[in-house]
Amino acid sequence: MSEYVYNITGGRPLSGTIKVSGAKNSAVALIPAALLADSPVTIDGLPEISDVHTLQRLLEQIGAPSTFEEGVMTIDPSEVEEMALPNGDIKKMRASYYLMGAMLGRFKRAVIGLPGGCPLGPRPIDQHIKGFEALGAKVTNEHGSIYLRADELIGAKIYLDVASVGATINIMLAAVRAKGQTIIENAAKEPEIIDVATLLSNMGADIKGAGTNVIRINGVDQLTGTRHTIIPDRIEAGTYMIMAAALGQGVTIDNVIPLHMEALTAKLRELGVEVIEREEQIYIPERKQPLQAVNLKTLVYPGFPTDLQQPFSVLLTQAEGSSVVTETIYPARFKQIDELKRMNAKGKIEGNSAIINGPARLDGTIVRASDLRAGAALVLAGLLAKGTTTVEDIYHIERGYSDLIDKLNALGADIRREKKN
């Protein structure tokens, strides 16, 4: 439960330039990765989101203090201690699981509580554990904490049953300090994995193939501090592209890597939206034609990202015809649909698909963000709706969007963060 809500007055067009922050899903791995160094690591361009602050507190607890100002964080891991992190902040986010790989790599031991994060249906970590075990760790679950213990870590060949982002990065974090070579097969290929591999390589690690489905890591004895600039957040950028497609009178999305956006760009064009790619920007001009229904399937990168499915489904409520959205990553990731129906959207869920019929004129009401991207979806619904929309449980949204309100209000939106009545 959150004390604050977003009150959104809908129907206002968006225009101007919006700047994307550093990627949440990189940030939450880069910060734990710094624990593997023997001297300070500086990361530039971090987003101001609660997941970053939560990690900062967790690092502080284990003796790695940091400073964080204007997106620049310097972490001093030189005195970090092997301490258990069973409860509290560890449960407030998903990616606290990266402390397992980082602590295992550094100390060959770790005790870390099971993570929290968005409730998207089952989110097992069996592939992370399989990887740690292959490297020689004994892994047990005791009273809700994962205990990892190894005499030494030894490189191994690990085939992931699913191309998991978290497992790929977590295994990489431990394997950079293992003896000999680790090969991760069926590795995930998301851009955030390349970003983490870049930081680790600049710290002295030997990693080849990040961004492909086979990653080879030769373990090293020591990693040292460095400075790294994070990649832009492709999910934040995508959220703004979708908002611009819905309500834009000419919106420039700045600080984006257009190559990372290709699946969304192609889908938007299919829907009837013009998308102009520039070097580090994407421009969405005012739409001159109605949106046409499209079908969509979420896939691992470079397919359509599951994290954009929920905001995109709101755009589909505005399209003419019937769209089918199929989730292959998290089959039950459709909690936004019931809330959208309360706002007059027409749709239903069948198995791992949502069928959305449009166009619908959305009406403002009180809705609840069940998770981060459902929250972003409801903000867009509120921007489109007639009257006022109140979005509750915004703490989910603030886990992943940096300065969302200021950025959107600067484009012409009317969103107020207010105490719940």
Ligand X SMILES: CC(=O)N[C@H]1[C@@H](OP(=O)(O)OP(=O)(O)OC[C@H]2O[C@@H](n3ccc(=O)[nH]c3=O)[C@H](O)[C@@H]2O)O[C@H](CO)[C@@H](O)[C@@H]1O
Ligand Y SMILES: C=C(OP(=O)(O)O)C(=O)O
Binding at 164: pick from ligand Y, ligand X, none (beta carbon under 5-8 Å per type) = ligand X
Tokens of 398: 């603030």
CA angle 355, 359, 362 (to 5 degrees): 95
Q: Give the strand pairing for 321-326 and 72-75.
A: unpaired
CA angle 405, 410, 412 (to 5 degrees): 95
Interface size with ligand Y, residues (CB under 6 A): 10
Q: Looking only at residues 274 through 313 of this chain, which bind ligand Y when binding is defined by CB under 6 A?
A: 307
Q: Which residues pair with 367 in a beta bridge?
A: 391
372 binds ligand Y (CB under 6 A): yes
336 binds ligand X (CB under 6 A): no
For residue 325, which of 299, 296, 358 has the smallest C-alpha distance?
296
Binding at 127: pick from ligand Y, ligand X, none (beta carbon under 5-8 Å per type) = ligand X
Residue 269-308 contact track with ligand X, rule CB under 6 A, x = bound: -------------------------------------xx-
399 binds ligand X (CB under 6 A): no
Looking at beta carbons, which residue is closest to ligand Y? 117
Tokens of 32: 């734990």
Residue closer to ligand Y by CB (options 47, 117) is 117
Q: Give the strand pairing for 109-113 and 206-208.
A: unpaired
Among 5, 20, 27, 28, binds ligand X (CB under 6 A): 28
126 binds ligand X (CB under 6 A): yes
Residue closer to ligand X by CB (options 263, 319) is 263
166 binds ligand X (CB under 6 A): yes
Q: Looking only at residues 383 through 402 of this chain, which bind ligand Y when binding is defined by CB under 6 A?
A: 400
Residue closer to ligand Y by CB (options 43, 49) is 49
95 binds ligand X (CB under 6 A): yes
191 binds ligand Y (CB under 6 A): no
Q: Which residues pair with 93 in a beta bridge?
A: none
Smallest gap, in angstroms, from Cβ of residue 298 to ligand X? Answer: 8
Residue 211 burial (10 A CB sphere; 0-12, 13-18, 19+):
middle
Smallest gap, in angstroms, from Cβ of residue 76 to ligand X? Answer: 24
Smallest gap, in angstroms, from Cβ of residue 152 to ligand X? Answer: 24
Q: Match 């998903």 to its residue by tokens.
A: 94
309 binds ligand X (CB under 6 A): no
Smallest gap, in angstroms, from Cβ of residue 159 to ligand Y? Answer: 23
Active-site hit among 118, 275, 367, 411: 118
146 binds ligand X (CB under 6 A): no
Smallest gap, in angstroms, from Cβ of residue 318 to ligand X? Answer: 24
Among 46, 64, 118, 379, binds ligand Y (CB under 6 A): 118
Smallest gap, in angstroms, from Cβ of residue 117 to ligand Y? Answer: 3
CA dihedral 298, 300, 304, 309 (to 10 degrees): 50
Smallest gap, in angstroms, from Cβ of residue 123 to ligand X? Answer: 5
* Binding-site entries: 24-25, 94, 123-127, 307, 329
Phi/psi of residue 216, nearest 5 degrees: -115, 130
For residue 185, give the DSSP letter. E
CA-CA distance, 273 to 281, in Å (whole number)?
Answer: 16
* Binding-site entries for phosphoenolpyruvate: 24-25
What DSSP letter does each residue of 322-363 carry, written as one string?
Answer: EEEEE-SSSTT--HHHHHHHHTT-EEEEETTEEEEEE----B
For residue 170, which of 140, 119, 135, 214 has the smallest C-alpha distance?
135
Binding at 56: pick from ligand Y, ligand X, none (beta carbon under 5-8 Å per type) = none
Active site residue 118: yes
CA dihedral 194, 196, 201, 207 (to 10 degrees): -60
247 CB-near residues (< 8 Å, 6+ apart): 12, 13, 14, 383, 384
Looking at beta carbons, which residue is closest to ligand X? 166
* Binding-site entries for UDP-N-acetyl-alpha-D-glucosamine: 94, 123-127, 307, 329
For residue 97, which of 79, 113, 80 has the smallest C-alpha distance?
113
Catalytic residues: 118
Q: Which residues bind ligand Y (CB under 6 A)?
A: 24, 93-95, 117-118, 307, 372-373, 400
